[in-house]
Amino acid sequence: MSRHLEPRGRRVKVLATLGPASASEAMIARLHEAGADAFRVNMSHGSHEGQAALIQAVRSVEKANGRPIAILADLQGPKLRVGRIAGGSAELVKGAAFRLDRQTAPGDATRACLPHKEIFAALRPGARLLVDDGKIVLRAQSVSADAIDCVVEVPGTIKDNKGVNVPDVVVPLPALTVKDRADLAFALDCGVDWIALSFVQRPEDVAEARRLIGGRAALLAKIEKPAALERLDEILELADAVMVARGDLGVELPPQAVPPAQKRIVATARMMGKPVVVATQMLESMITAPTPTRAEVSDVATAIYDGADAVMLSAESAAGQFPVEAVAMMDAIAAEVEADPGYQGRVHYTEIATGRSTASAITAAAADISRTIGARAIVCFTISGSTAGRAARERAAVPVLCLTPALATARRMGLVWGVHAVVTRDVGSFEEMVAKSKRMALRAHLAKGGDPLVLIAGVPFSTPGTTNVVHVVRLTGDELKNY
């Protein structure tokens, strides 16, 4: 039997970032074997040549294993940074005056260059500027077109080119820089499945990226700015998925505010039926240790209990000493959580908005029917993937077997909860649909003789967006003999 027909045995997906520790095809194969369903290529690091090699390596592993693999290209977004500091660094003292200006001369303990005129236009007295991931906190006292006079609230060592966050204002910067536009075009030409958009502040940022993508990949919006939280519903309406990007979010919000923000983002995405990824520092200690802390395991488990579609590894798999162990640990935590008898109750804590469409009603009914009759799987035929996505948002107690003739659709399912995607020829009749559903469920070991299946499809066949049929079938002894 082909290995690609065997599901993972868990519903949540594992997204692993590629980097120096995982750049070879052999290591990518090991990560995939350990449980990685999707791979993230960080466009902030490396050259296009190196990124293309990573993408090609993933595709080679995909071909060798026969299981569709999702690739996510993560755009860098605009980076706000101070300029050079004389001698490379300077000590800022608590309560001291400090000026940020647009002079290009090297800075010192009293001033530094901030070469971003947009910040000067947006900032108001009283706003904070966080330097070097919040290690230094400056409070603006007065603002002009060329200078921001601050007081040092949290002192520290300011160094060359360190990042600056301004959480209290919406900075009028586009989410897509010139570099991002070049990286986006390159990633699309390489055939990636998902584009992650960084520094999202407004729905307009998502709309612009969607226009440039032109349907060639799915779009994931990273929520890492307080401004994005304020317009979360509008952003989610336009995005295909969302990420709880706890890195910058944890800089711009007080640490204690991040868990409620995460809960809200996950719950809102669940309610709107959009896939949600929880990311950053999930198994951080595994960068240098072969086992995680108990707190990290609990953190990953909480995201899974809350119904996240995917959990992500960053430096753990990109640059850590134990990338395979980190992926295997994610896999093991997910399996343990989903085996908990209380998991199904917890994962349904959010009431989802089914909507008024026929397709939404059909998929909701399929989930209810599967619970009532004890079906072994929900089988859906889809070209665009929307039917499988709707079935996944119901968080049914059984796997969703997604049968599609479109390889791109099957790959995108690598970030969608509970969906096991198989590329197969499309069906042309109702009888063929029933026969293929039974055959594929048997091959995937999702069902055996006497087991019921719930089928979802659209008639006429091969027409996207026509989900209008739910049908129950039961496997018989004759089919087992033929199989």
Among 10, 11, 13, 40, the active-site one is 40
Note if 231 is an active site residue. no
Residue 5, pLDDT above cutoff 70: no
**246, 133 Cβ separation under 8 angstroms:** no
- Look at residue 6 in the predicted model and tell me its pLDDT: 77
Q: Note if 376 is an active site residue.
A: no
Tens digits of per-residue pLDDT, 63-88?
999 999 999 999 999 989 999 999 99
Per-residue pLDDT at 2: 44
What pLDDT shows up at residue 1? Answer: 33
Give the pLDDT of residue 31: 98
Active-site annotation holds for 280: yes
Mean pLDDT (whole number) for 157-175: 91
Domain segments of the chain as ranges: 3-77+174-343, 86-165, 358-482
- d(CA 379, CA 314) in angstroms, rounded, equals 33
Q: Which of 268, 205, 280 is nearest to 241 (CA)?
A: 268
Q: Give the pLDDT confidence of 432-461 residue by residue, as tens digits.
A: 988 999 999 998 889 888 899 999 987 777
Query: Please, which residues bridge with residue 290 across strands?
Result: none
State pLDDT tens for residues 102-154. Answer: 999 999 999 999 999 999 999 999 999 999 989 999 999 999 999 999 999 99
CB 218 within 8 A of CB 195: yes
Both structure tokens of 472 = 């129950």
Q: Residues 17, 268, 280, 467: which is the catalytic one?
A: 280
| Residue in 428, 438, 372 with CA at minimum distance from that of residue 401 | 438
35: phi > 0 → left, psi -120 to 50 → alpha, else beta; which? left
Domain 86-165 is of which CATH architecture?
Beta Barrel (2.40)
Which CATH superfamily does the domain covering 358-482 fall into? Answer: Pyruvate kinase, C-terminal domain (3.40.1380.20)
CA quadruple 388, 393, 396, 401: dihedral, nearest 10 = 20
Mean pLDDT on 173-183: 94
Q: Do residues 65 and 32 lie in contact, with contact meaning Cβ atoms separated by under 8 Å?
A: yes
pTM: 0.92
pLDDT for the residue numbered 354:
57
Higher pLDDT, 116 or 217: 217
Token pair belonging to 474: 């039961």
pLDDT tens digits, 335-393: 999 999 999 888 876 666 656 688 888 888 999 999 999 999 999 998 999 989 989 99
What homologous superfamily does CATH list for 3-77+174-343? Phosphoenolpyruvate-binding domains (3.20.20.60)
- Is the CA virtual torsion 49, 54, 57, 63 positive or negative? negative
Residues 76 and 180: beta-carbon distance below 8 Å: yes
* Residue 222 a catalytic site member: yes
Q: Which of 133-137, 286-290, 478-482 has the highest mean pLDDT?
A: 286-290
4 versus 433: the higher-pLDDT residue is: 433
Give pLDDT tens digits for 241-278.
Answer: 999 999 889 998 998 999 999 999 999 999 888 999 99
Average pLDDT of the segment spanning 311-331: 98
Q: Are 379 and 440 in contact (CB under 8 A)?
A: yes
DSSP state of 174: -
What share of the chain in percent tops pLDDT 90?
78
- Helix (H, G, I), strand (E, B), or coil: what is residue 118? helix
Residue where the block lists tokens 């108990």: 294
Residues with Cβ within 8 Å of residue 201, at least 6 apart in sequence: 170, 171, 175, 225, 227, 228
Q: Active-site residue among 81, 99, 139, 264? A: 81
